[in-house]
Amino acid sequence: MVFQKKYFDKGDPYHCYCHKTSRLISEKFKSIEIKTTFQSRFGPQEWLQPYTDKTLESLPSEGKKNILTICPGFSSDCVETLEEILIQGKESFLNSGGENFDMIPCLNDNDDHILLLKSLIQKSV
């Protein structure tokens, strides 16, 4: 996935898709506050913001001590979801004064996910 701001400036819809996903989840679960962040960045380029690591560090000072994270842009867990969010992100959040950090796992090899993939493949052939 490309998170560099230069691609956003050229019209890449990824940023919009992320916010649309958050909006749709918010509409379904009206009582849950959702914040969309972007965690992948390396090198000198400007990346999409707000940054996940900086957000996780600031949430406790904003009175948000208990959070549940989800990475809907990933269909299966990977280094970004497991190492950057679940391990480093959790540690950063707790070290900044957070109390409870949990993460919804990606779909991975869940039966419903596999059936969805099978259905999508069958429709395209």
Query: Is there a contact between 110 and 77 (Cβ–Cβ < 8 Å)?
Result: no
Range with the lowest mean pLDDT among 4-8, 52-56, 85-89, 116-120? 4-8
pTM > 0.85: yes or no: no
Q: Which range marks the domain in which residue 53 is found? A: 5-124
Residue 119: CATH number of its domain: 3.40.50.1400
Name the CA dihedral angle for 59, 93, 61, 28, rounded to a multiple of 10 degrees: 20
pLDDT single digits (tens) 43-74 = 788 888 999 999 999 999 999 999 999 998 88
Q: How many domains is the chain partitioned into structurally?
A: 1
